[in-house]
Amino acid sequence: MADMTTPPDRARVRLPGISSRAYEHPADRSALVAMRKLTGFDVLLRRLAGLFSDRSLRLLFLASSVRASQEQFPHLYELLLDGSSILDLPAVPELYITQDPIPNAMTLGSDKPFIVITTGMVDLYDAEEMRWVIGHELGHVLSGHAVYRTMLFHLTRLATRLAWFAIGYIGLRVIIAGLEEWYRKSELSCDRAGVLAGQDPAAARRALMKLAGGSRMSELSHDAFHQQAHEYDAVPDVREGLLKLLQLQGTTHPFAVIRFAELDRWVADGEYAPILAGQYPRREDDEQTSVSEEVRAAARSYQESWNRSSDPLIGLVKGFAETAAGAGERLFSGVFGRRDSGAGDTGTNGD
C-alpha cells in the first residue's frame, strides 16, 4: 500500500518568480494564454467584475465570517503566509472562515481576490491537509482564474434569462459547456498548486479521500480509492460512458476519484520533482508564451488522456474527437500564430 503518512515538519522549498504555467493543466493553460492575448479583454473583464462584485462580496464576508489573522485562526493564517511565500505571490490575499458544515473552499473577487474556507473543511482536515487546501486556493489567485470564472457566472445567468429564445440559448449553452470544461481543468491545475505549496503529496491524497468519504482515515485505503478511479474509467459499456458524460453537465469540479488519480499521475510522471529543483517557467517570461503552442499542448494532453482511458464511449468517438481537436488546433494556430509571430515569439520558454 502507498505511504499515506505525513513526514515530520521540514523546510519547504520556495519557488521565486514561479509562473502559474508550471502547474496548470494544458487545457487550462491554453485557454488562459489565449484569453490573455486578447488585448484589453483581461483588463475590461476585471474592471467590470470588480466594479460591484468584489466590494459587495468582501463586505458580505467581512460582516458574516471571521477573517484569519495572528489573533483569529492564527494556525490557518500562518499556512496562508507560508503558502504565499512559497508560491511567491505579489500580495497575500485575505482569508475568511465561514460557518458552514459542508466542506468547501473558494477564491472570490477579481481585482483583489480573497479566499473563503468553511468550518466544515477546517474541522475535517489536519494541518498538512489544510496547507494543501490553502495552496490550492492560492493557485487560483496566481492563475487569475477568478476573472474568467466571473465570466462563466454572468453567462450562466444570461442563459437562464434567454431560455425562451431557443437559438440564443443553445449558442450560449455551447459556450458555457466549454467554460465548464475549462473550469474543471482549472481545478486539476490548482490541485497541483496545492502540492507545490505544501510539498506533501500524501496530504493531498488524504484530503481528496476525506472529501469523498469523511474524516475516518483508518477506514480509507489509497489503493482501493485508486481502484475506484480505474473502475469509474473502465465502465462496461457505452451506455454508462454516456451517463458519465451527462453527469458532468452543469458541474464545475471533477469527481474526487478523478482528481485523486490525476494528481497521483502528475506526481508520478515526474513533473513535480523538477519544479522543486528549480526547473520551472518564470512569470517574467509569460508574455512570450505562444497561444498556438499551448493549444497544441492541450490537444496532446487530451489525446494522451483518451489513449489511457478504457471508457468504451471514448473509444467510439475518439476518431471524431481527434479530428475536432486537430481542427481547433489549426484554427487557433491560424488566428493567434500571426499575432505570435508578429510579436517575435518563437514558443514557450521552459514548459
Q: pLDDT tens digit string along 325-350?
A: 454 444 444 544 444 444 333 333 33
The cell 454516456 sits on which residue? 242
Provide the sign of the torsion angle of the four alpha carbons 149, 256, 95, 27, taken in this order. negative
Determine which of 62-71, 208-217, 304-313 has the lowest per-residue pLDDT on average.
304-313
As to burial, measured by CB atoms within 10 angstroms (0-12 exposed, 13-18 middle, 19+ buried), residue 236 is exposed
CB within 8 A of 148, min separation 6: which ones?
A: 31, 32, 35, 45, 179, 182
pLDDT, mean over the chain: 74
- What's the rounded Cα separation, in Å, for the pair 209 and 228? 11
Cα–chain center distance at 134: 13
Q: Per-residue pLDDT for 243 more than 60?
A: yes
**Percentage helix, strand, coil for the chain under 3-state DSSP, each rounded to 5:** 70, 5, 30
The answer, yes or no, to whether residue 306 has pLDDT greater than 90, is no
**φ, ψ of residue 118 in degrees (nearest 5):** -80, 155
What's the whole-model pTM score?
A: 0.74
d(CA 304, CA 298): 10
